[in-house]
Chains A and B, each alone.
Chain A
Amino acid sequence: MHPHDVVVRLAHAPSLWLTLLLVGVVLLMPHTAPLFHAWFPDLPRPVYTRASFVALTLAHLELVALSSGGAALFGIGLGIFVTREAGRDLAPLVGALAAIGQTFPPVAVLALSVPLLGYGAAPTILALWLYAVLPILEGTITGLRAVPAAVTDAATGMGFSAQGRLLGIELPLASPFVVSGLRTAVIINIGTAAIGSTIGALSLGSPILEGLATSNSAYVVQGALVVALLAVVVDRWFDHLASMTSFRSSGRGRSITS
């Protein structure tokens, strides 16, 4: 693809504009005092200043990235294991455990992990990790099971090693399902990470919580606005990733130029 085409395509994609909007909102937040003062005239300090919104957003993204990344490694690895000959018997058990993991309320996980991990980012990352494992695991298992038996049979019969077949054939074919699971996990975590601020993790939940505690609605709006924008932007970028991996259903080939 010509570099110019990439620019043209992005210009038409909402993901680029939404990303610019997010960056603009985060950077310009300190200068919005007149706006929020007009909206909430009774508040003496209408803009959250305890930490910059740049720092809050980066901390929030770090929580999401570490937990989702860890969950991706674990979920994809476990998904691969239970679809191999050796781990096939464990598949129902693993599925059930992951489902149980997701039914725990996030606040309960946070409360339970504080005595173990203390206050701050670590228990938050543990809770988010637990939440992200199930969708990624399910996506991986579904994707690997959706690979047609004829394809794996042909690959084995032609002389692919088990590893070569997994990396070259099965995972690429499963990737739309894996990406879809990862997308669900990340979007859920962007929302849930805000709760981490209840146990002292720095996140976009910090202004929301302080706003709730001190009856400062402006803080709540500011935190919620950035969290919502962040979720929408990340979801748009996953849309690009999904269309890159779902060439099969769309009938679009990677090496075909139109």
Chain B
Amino acid sequence: MKPIAFHAVGKSFGATHALCDFSLEIPGGAFCVLIGPSGCGKSTALRMINAMILPDQGRVTVGGEDVARLDPVEHRRHIGYVIQSVGLFPHWTVAQNIAAVPRLLGWSKPKQADRVEEMAGLLGIEPALLERYPHELSGGQQQRAGVARALAADPEIILMDEPFAALDPTSRATLQAELERIHARSGKTIVFVTHDMDEALRLATQMVVMDRGHLVQSGAPIEILRHPANSLVGAFLGGGSIHMRLLDRLAVRERSTPRRTGATGAIAAGASLRQALDLMLATGSTRLAVVDEDGTWRGEIHIGDIIAGGEAGTSDASA
């Protein structure tokens, strides 16, 4: 897996400084989410990885090689690319769109067809849709095709620029879940730009908060939630609801203890603390039994466990 690194990168567009002294290491296999307000330079940083934008100062390296020295066309063919407006080719069928990069790479027709079928299965695209044209698809289906197209040539790195921002909440949640699954299974490096904090917290293994061309904080989502670097990060993380978001990221099993006081309701050990709190609010009880996936009893969680742990962030367990 190729790591990606930014070494003191600077970039200006006219009088606007898009990136200032920006340094970042993205280890191979990471799900790195760049987040920040619009104009913070996150898309600029993303587009430097596939040489769509070249830095004015500093270097961007992929697998140790300076991107500016690589043949951009050849380099891009080995990096998946997904954008918010999808950009499917309107005069090509969905199948032809998915096969675009394999075709550029000169794969044989049968190999292309096999890969299209495989990608359609992976992204849940019905075979009947493959012979359709993009304008005949819904927004969610189009972005599934967009993601399938980015994955088709089996790139080690996938760049995604707000890919789900234009989708309805249901399609967005489904595609996020599928992307999580694909990442977990393939171990590909994904660099993902968003301004949606919930999306970032859900998907990231490495979260990078940016503001006005600077890197403000980088780390695991849960660490950033626990220790926001400054008030700006705190505000961006959701101001008053940081601790609720933290509860979202922590699993019940991290706070449960093997005691037996006769709790009536039950919750799965893998559920989030927020779900446990919600169930307590719904049932009016302050204690819940905790069970494993196979239904075996594991212990109990009390409302005090949720509150005590959350406020100081003392638990070292990670989600």
Residues of chain A touching chain B, judged by Cβ–Cβ distance below 8 Å, are 148, 150-151, 153-161, 164, 169, 172-173, 247-248, 251, 253, 255-256
For B101, the closest partner residue in chain A by CB is A158
Given contacts A150-B86, A157-B76, contact A173 B52 (CB under 8 A): no
Query: B91 contacts the other chain (Cβ, under 8 Å)?
Result: yes
Q: Are A251 and B135 in contact (CB under 8 A)?
A: yes
Of B91, B104, B132, the residue contacting A164 (CB under 8 A) is B104
For B149, the closest partner residue in chain A by CB is A158
Q: Are A253 and B89 in contact (CB under 8 A)?
A: no
Query: B114 contacts the other chain (Cβ, under 8 Å)?
Result: no
User: How many angstroms from the CA of A150 to the CA of B104 in the assembled complex?
Assistant: 19
Given contacts A157-B81, A158-B100, contact A251 B136 (CB under 8 A): yes
Q: Are B83 and A153 in contact (CB under 8 A)?
A: yes
Q: Are A157 and B83 in contact (CB under 8 A)?
A: yes
Of B73, B78, B135, B136, the residue contacting A160 (CB under 8 A) is B73
What are 5 A-B contacts defined by CB distance under 8 Å? A148-B90, A154-B86, A159-B104, A164-B104, A253-B93
Query: B74 contacts the other chain (Cβ, under 8 Å)?
Result: yes
Q: Are A255 and B93 in contact (CB under 8 A)?
A: yes
Q: Are B131 and A154 in contact (CB under 8 A)?
A: no
Given contacts A173-B90, A251-B135, contact A148 B85 (CB under 8 A): yes
Which among B47, B73, B89 has the greatest number of chain A C-beta atoms within 10 A? Answer: B89
Of A150, A248, A253, the residue contacting B87 (CB under 8 A) is A150
For B75, the closest partner residue in chain A by CB is A159
Q: Are A155 and B131 in contact (CB under 8 A)?
A: no
Nearest-Cβ distance from residue A161 to partner chain B, whole angstroms: 5
Q: Are B93 and A150 in contact (CB under 8 A)?
A: no
Q: Are A156 and B88 in contact (CB under 8 A)?
A: no
Given contacts A248-B135, A253-B133, A256-B131, contact A157 B90 (CB under 8 A): no
Of A151, A156, A159, A255, the residue contacting B90 (CB under 8 A) is A151
Besides the contacts A160-B73, A172-B91, what 8 more A-B pairs have beta carbons closer than 8 Å?
A: A150-B86, A154-B81, A154-B88, A154-B146, A158-B100, A158-B101, A248-B91, A251-B136
User: How many angstroms from the CA of A164 to the CA of B101 in the assembled complex?
Assistant: 12
Within 8 A of A (CB), among B267-295: none
Q: Are A148 and B101 in contact (CB under 8 A)?
A: no
